[in-house]
Amino acid sequence: MRKSITPTIEGGLLVAITVIMGLVTVYVPIIGMFVEFFCAVPLAVLTARQGVGKGLSALFVTFILLSMLISPVLAIRLALSFGICGVALGWCVRKNFDAVRIFFATLVVASAAQVVSIGLLIAVMDVNLIEMQIEMVRESFDESFKMYEEMGVDPARIAEAQTQVEPALQVLVFLMPTLIMLTALVNAVAVYLTAQWIFPKLQMKIPKLPPFSEWKLPVLFFYTAIIGGLGLYWGFTRGWTEIYEISLNLLIISAIIGLIQGLALLSFLFDRYNVSKLMRRILYVILILNMFLIQLVAITGLLDMLFDYRKKFFERRE
């Protein structure tokens, strides 16, 4: 007679799988980069089946084990980057949320986790990830300049390029909130897509997002883009550094959202006019390689939030 696995044994197995994945992420090059995206799935499965309390308990046990086996810094990064997102996604699935609410909740949790992770590393372990990343970029530039110098590149050109590095790094510091948001977005997308792939294999249901061509994002981002642009002008012309920094992040985040909306509109047009998959790929490659086209699609996406071109020009004709 076949015995079913008890909840305790299931929880232990899923914690063990998460720990093994964490070790692979740290110690196995290249493969670990891909395995990291799956670290949230066992915790998401456990939470969906047994509840958020068991999920959080498993996350705590996983953090303790990874802290002993690798290091607390890496354990915090894995636990907050993917672990807590898995618990959030599993809770949403257990509550029968629709796909949009699941993804949005996971994104909010991922964003908060990034902020908490950076704050903990700065406050508790005196590790400033922002300064570390900036210093790594600076060292990378220095190594590149040395290589160019050894290759016989004109020293005047190297010196000119070096003078442009620090202002660029300063802009990178300003854009840290945007980079944190993008990191959270990547984490949320990775957690959702991996869960959407694994859940059906375990006879578990997870809602699917609407087709990309049907995505319509809130018109709020059109107005935040306008506010960001005006704030950027005022901050630059009047020397208001704080206003400039906030407005720069607001404008870029709004532009990224506008780009997503613009690509959704483009996908709708491709479907509408039966553009072949090969031609779509060619057009996407051309788009990616042309900054002007990217900006045009982003602006079109922001305007689409306000005017809804799909409804205005296509649904009326039908």
Same domain flag for 293 and 202: no
Beta strands in 110-173 (DSSP E): none
Same domain flag for 100 and 230: no
**Mean pLDDT for the stretch of residues 144-158:** 75
Percentage of residues of the chain with pLDDT beyond 90:
40
Residue 286 lies in a domain: yes
Same domain flag for 182 and 310: no
Structure tokens at 30: 């290249």
Per the listing, tokens 């406050």 go with: 123
Largest CA distance in the chain: 81
pLDDT in tens, 201-247: 888 889 988 999 999 999 999 999 999 999 998 988 888 888 888 99
Quote the pTM value.
Answer: 0.81
Domain that includes residue 239, residue range: 210-318
Alpha-carbon span 206 to 90, nearest angstrom? 9
Domain boundary among 184, 208, 232: 208
Same domain flag for 70 and 112: yes
- How many structural domains is the chain composed of? 2
